[in-house]
């Protein structure tokens, strides 16, 4: 993937932020990337990252201001400035909102704008109940036009039997395929 204009959405699942930051950094080496973050990412420090440190790293690698409000996200549609969007990590809550047309924070509203502009969205799921009640929303997104999932696996089948997480190292390959309206296969990965 080179010379693409990428909108990179970052939601909760804070334990995955370090791995996602590595992929974001790699994408920024050959592409023009702008980040959009959920309110929780913008306001919450966690045991994984101090918010200011994390947001500082995101801004340093993207070289753009971070979109973090509804007002800023609303401009994504009319600007029509991006080739593709990736949301990583996407939480079960954001998957539910997208599957049911609820666009009440910067990442979901930005995704709605991308769909308005007939652009594809790649998402990487990270949730403790992906094989539970949240599965219906995740699999609904997989079945929707313009949505492509980064292949995933159970991340702790014996201690968190319903938990799934995308393989972040497959992000760029999934995006390459999505730019050609194809889903990277297989979607379901074996254990490690």
d(CA 184, CA 34): 23
Q: By the 8 A CB rule, do 183 and 177 touch?
A: yes
Per DSSP, the three-state class of 67 is: strand
In the chain the domains, ranked by start, together with CATH numbers, are 2-177 (3.40.50.1950)
* The token pair that represents 117 in the structure block: 């502009």
What is this structure's pTM? Answer: 0.95
pLDDT tens-place string over residues 93-149: 999 999 999 999 999 999 999 999 999 999 999 999 999 999 999 999 999 999 999
Percent of the chain with pLDDT over 90: 92
Q: By the 8 A CB rule, do 1 and 29 touch?
A: no
pLDDT tens-place string over residues 40-93: 999 989 999 999 999 999 999 999 999 999 999 999 999 999 999 999 999 999
d(CA 73, CA 46): 24
User: What number of H helices and E strands is found in the chain?
Assistant: 9, 7
Task: Give whole-number Cα distances, 143 to 55, 74, 109, 115, in Å.
Answer: 32, 26, 20, 14
């Amino acid at each position: 993937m080179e010379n693409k204009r990428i909108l990179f959405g970052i939601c909760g699942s804070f334990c995955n932020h370090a791995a996602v930051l590595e992929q974001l950094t790699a994408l920024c080496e050959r592409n023009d990337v702008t980040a959009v973050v959920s309110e929780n990412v913008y306001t919450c420090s966690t045991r994984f990252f101090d918010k200011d440190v994390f947001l500082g790293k995101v801004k340093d690698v993207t070289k753009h201001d971070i979109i973090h409000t509804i007002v800023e996200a609303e401009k994504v549609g009319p600007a029509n400035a991006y080739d593709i969007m990736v949301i990583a990590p996407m939480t079960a809550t954001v998957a539910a909102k997208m599957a049911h047309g609820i666009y009440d924070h910067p990442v979901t509203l930005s995704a709605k704008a991308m769909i308005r502009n007939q652009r594809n969205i790649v998402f990487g799921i990270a949730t403790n109940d992906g094989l539970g009640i949240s599965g219906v929303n995740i699999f609904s997104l997989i079945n929707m036009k313009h949505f492509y999932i980064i292949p995933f696996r159970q991340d702790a089948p014996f201690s968190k039997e319903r938990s799934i997480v995308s393989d972040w190292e497959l992000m760029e390959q999934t995006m390459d395929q999505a730019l050609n309206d194809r889903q990277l296969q297989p979607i379901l990965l074996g254990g490690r």
